[in-house]
Chains A and B, each alone.
Chain A
Amino acid sequence: MPGAGTPFNEVFPTFLWFSIAIGVFVAVWLCLNLILFRTPKGTKRRRPKDAPKPGMFPHHRGNLRLELLWTVIPSLIVAYLTFATLAPLDEVWGTPDNPVRIQVTGSQWVWAFTYENGTTSYAHLDVRCGVAYEARITSTDVIHSLFIPQYGVKEDAVRGVDTKLTFTPTETGTFPILCAEYCGLSHAAMQATLTVHGPCPSG
Chain B
Amino acid sequence: MAVCLLLVLGAVAPASLSLSGGISSPTLPAEGCTCHGGGKPGAVTPHLDGVPSQYEPSKVYQLNISIEGGPPIGGVNAGGFNLAATGGAFLSLNETTQVFPSGEIGHTTAGNNQRAWVVQWTAPAETDKVVDFRLLTNAVDGSASPDAPDQWNRATAQSMGPDASAPTTSTELIDGPTAFVLLAMAMLAIVVYALIPKGWSKEDFYQTIWAYLTTTDHKRVGMLYIATGFAFFFLGGIMALLIRVQLAFPENDFLSPSQYNQAFTMHGTTMIFLAAMPIIFGFANFVVPLQIGARDLAFPRINALGYWLLPAGASIIYLGLFTGGTGDVGWTGYPPYSESPTSQSPGTQLWVMGQVLLGISSTLTGVNFIATIMTLRAPGVTLLRVPLFTWSILITVFLLLLAIPVLTIALVMLLLDRLIGTAFFDPSKGGDPVLWQHLFWYFGHPEVYIVIIPAFGVVSEVTATMARRPIFGYRSMVYALVGLGALSYIVWGHHMFTSGANPLFRFLVMFTTMLVAVPTGIKIFNWLATLTGGALVLNTALLFSVGFIATFTMGGISGMFLASIPIDLHFHDTYFVVAHFHYVLFGGTIFAFLSAVYYWYPKITGHFLNERIGLVHFLGTFVGFNVTFYPMHELGLLGMPRRTAFYVAGRGLEFDNLLATVGAFILAVSSALLAVNIVYSRRNRVQAKDDAWESGWSLEWVTSSPPPEHSFLKIPTLLVQSEVEPLPEEQGSPEANPAIGSGLTAAALPKRSRRRTKGSP
One of A55, A65, A78, A142 near B702 (C-beta < 8 A)? A55
B721 touches A89 (CB 8 A): no
Chain A 5-58 interface residues, beta-carbon cutoff 8 Å to B: 6-8, 10-12, 15, 18-19, 22-23, 26-27, 29-30, 33-34, 36-39, 45-58
Against A, the Cβ 8 Å flags (1 = close, 0 = not) of B88-125 are: 00000000000000000000000000000000000000
B430–chain A nearest beta-carbon distance, Å: 8
B30 touches A89 (CB 8 A): no
**A-B complex: 8 closest residue pairs judged by Cβ atoms:** A149-B639, A122-B33, A112-B37, A52-B697, A58-B470, A152-B570, A188-B644, A163-B500
B738 is an interface residue with CB less than 8 A from chain A: no
Contacts of A154 in B (CB 8 A): 498, 569-570, 572-573
Chain B 628-648 interface residues, beta-carbon cutoff 8 Å to A: 637-639, 641-648
Contacts of A33 in B (CB 8 A): 528, 531-532, 534, 536
B498 touches A11 (CB 8 A): no
B31 touches A110 (CB 8 A): no
A36–chain B nearest beta-carbon distance, Å: 8
How far does the alpha carbon of A153 sit from the alpha carbon of B574 in the complex, in Å? Answer: 12
Residues of A within 8 A of B (CB): 1-2, 6-8, 10-12, 15, 18-19, 22-23, 26-27, 29-30, 33-34, 36-39, 45-67, 70-71, 74-75, 77-78, 81-82, 85, 88-89, 91-93, 103, 105, 107-110, 112, 114, 119-124, 126, 140-143, 145, 147, 149, 152-156, 158-163, 176, 178-193, 195
B564 touches A52 (CB 8 A): no
Against A, the Cβ 8 Å flags (1 = close, 0 = not) of B1-25 are: 0000001101110100100100111
Known: A15-B561, A71-B522. A181 touches B334 (CB 8 A): yes
B33 touches A184 (CB 8 A): no
B757 touches A105 (CB 8 A): no
Contacts of A162 in B (CB 8 A): 500
A112–chain B nearest beta-carbon distance, Å: 3
A15 touches B336 (CB 8 A): no
A153 touches B569 (CB 8 A): yes
How far does the alpha carbon of A189 sit from the alpha carbon of B721 in the complex, in Å? Answer: 65
A143 touches B570 (CB 8 A): no
B24 touches A30 (CB 8 A): no
Against A, the Cβ 8 Å flags (1 = close, 0 = not) of B537-554 are: 110000000100110011
Known: A30-B546, A47-B468, A147-B641. A142 touches B573 (CB 8 A): no
Interchain Cβ contacts under 8 Å between A and B, 28 examples: A2-B570, A15-B564, A18-B560, A19-B560, A33-B534, A39-B535, A45-B468, A46-B468, A52-B468, A57-B720, A57-B746, A58-B721, A60-B746, A60-B756, A61-B470, A62-B476, A63-B757, A107-B37, A119-B25, A120-B25, A155-B569, A158-B434, A161-B434, A163-B500, A181-B334, A184-B342, A188-B644, A191-B12
Known: A145-B498, A149-B638, A183-B337. A60 touches B537 (CB 8 A): no
A93 touches B510 (CB 8 A): no
A26 touches B528 (CB 8 A): yes
B312–chain A nearest beta-carbon distance, Å: 28
Known: A8-B569, A11-B567, A152-B570. A57 touches B428 (CB 8 A): no
How far does the alpha carbon of A139 sit from the alpha carbon of B756 in the complex, in Å? Answer: 64
What is the chain A residue whose CB lies nearest that of B532?
A: A33
One of B27, B433, B468 near A124 (C-beta < 8 A)? B27
A153 touches B570 (CB 8 A): yes
Interface of A is mostly: mixed
One of A66, A120, A124 near B529 (C-beta < 8 A)? A66
B721 touches A53 (CB 8 A): yes
What is the chain A residue whose CB lies nearest that of B720?
A: A57
How far does the alpha carbon of A152 sit from the alpha carbon of B11 in the complex, in Å? Answer: 21
B220–chain A nearest beta-carbon distance, Å: 24
B237 is an interface residue with CB less than 8 A from chain A: no
B427 is an interface residue with CB less than 8 A from chain A: yes
What is the chain A residue whose CB lies nearest that of B758?
A: A63
B445–chain A nearest beta-carbon distance, Å: 18
One of B38, B464, B468, B690 near A107 (C-beta < 8 A)? B38
Contacts of A188 in B (CB 8 A): 7, 11, 257, 641, 644-647
Output the residue of A103, A180, A188 with the most chain B CB within 10 A: A188
Against A, the Cβ 8 Å flags (1 = close, 0 = not) of B518-538 are: 100110111011111111111
One of A22, A63, A124 near B754 (C-beta < 8 A)? A63
What is the chain B residue whose CB lies nearest that of A152?
A: B570
How far does the alpha carbon of A69 sit from the alpha carbon of B437 in the complex, in Å? Answer: 38
How far does the alpha carbon of A129 sit from the alpha carbon of B470 in the complex, in Å? Answer: 63
B350–chain A nearest beta-carbon distance, Å: 18
Contacts of A105 in B (CB 8 A): 37-38, 146
B724 is an interface residue with CB less than 8 A from chain A: yes
What is the chain A residue whose CB lies nearest that of B42?
A: A108
B536 touches A110 (CB 8 A): no
How far does the alpha carbon of A82 sit from the alpha carbon of B499 in the complex, in Å? Answer: 21
Contacts of B25 in A (CB 8 A): 119-121
A24–chain B nearest beta-carbon distance, Å: 11
What is the chain A residue whose CB lies nearest that of B692?
A: A54
How far does the alpha carbon of A82 sit from the alpha carbon of B506 in the complex, in Å? Answer: 12
How far does the alpha carbon of A37 sit from the alpha carbon of B730 in the complex, in Å? Answer: 25
A147 touches B342 (CB 8 A): no
B752 is an interface residue with CB less than 8 A from chain A: yes
B498 touches A155 (CB 8 A): yes
One of A85, A108, A121, A126 near B41 (C-beta < 8 A)? A108
B499 touches A123 (CB 8 A): no
A45 touches B697 (CB 8 A): no
What is the chain A residue whose CB lies nearest that of B434?
A: A158
Contacts of B216 in A (CB 8 A): none
A30 touches B550 (CB 8 A): yes
A85 touches B334 (CB 8 A): no
How far does the alpha carbon of A47 sit from the alpha carbon of B645 in the complex, in Å? Answer: 55
A8–chain B nearest beta-carbon distance, Å: 5
How far does the alpha carbon of A11 sit from the alpha carbon of B525 in the complex, in Å? Answer: 26
What is the chain A residue whose CB lies nearest that of B256?
A: A185
Contacts of B515 in A (CB 8 A): 78
Chain B 445-487 interface residues, beta-carbon cutoff 8 Å to A: 464-465, 467-476
B337 touches A64 (CB 8 A): no
How far does the alpha carbon of A8 sit from the alpha carbon of B639 in the complex, in Å? Answer: 13
Contacts of B526 in A (CB 8 A): 67
Contacts of A103 in B (CB 8 A): 146
B752 touches A60 (CB 8 A): yes
One of B337, B529, B748 near A184 (C-beta < 8 A)? B337
How far does the alpha carbon of A22 sit from the alpha carbon of B549 in the complex, in Å? Answer: 13
B398–chain A nearest beta-carbon distance, Å: 23
B392 is an interface residue with CB less than 8 A from chain A: no
B709 is an interface residue with CB less than 8 A from chain A: no
A52 touches B695 (CB 8 A): yes
What is the chain A residue whose CB lies nearest that of B634?
A: A1
A143 touches B753 (CB 8 A): no
Contacts of A38 in B (CB 8 A): 536, 538
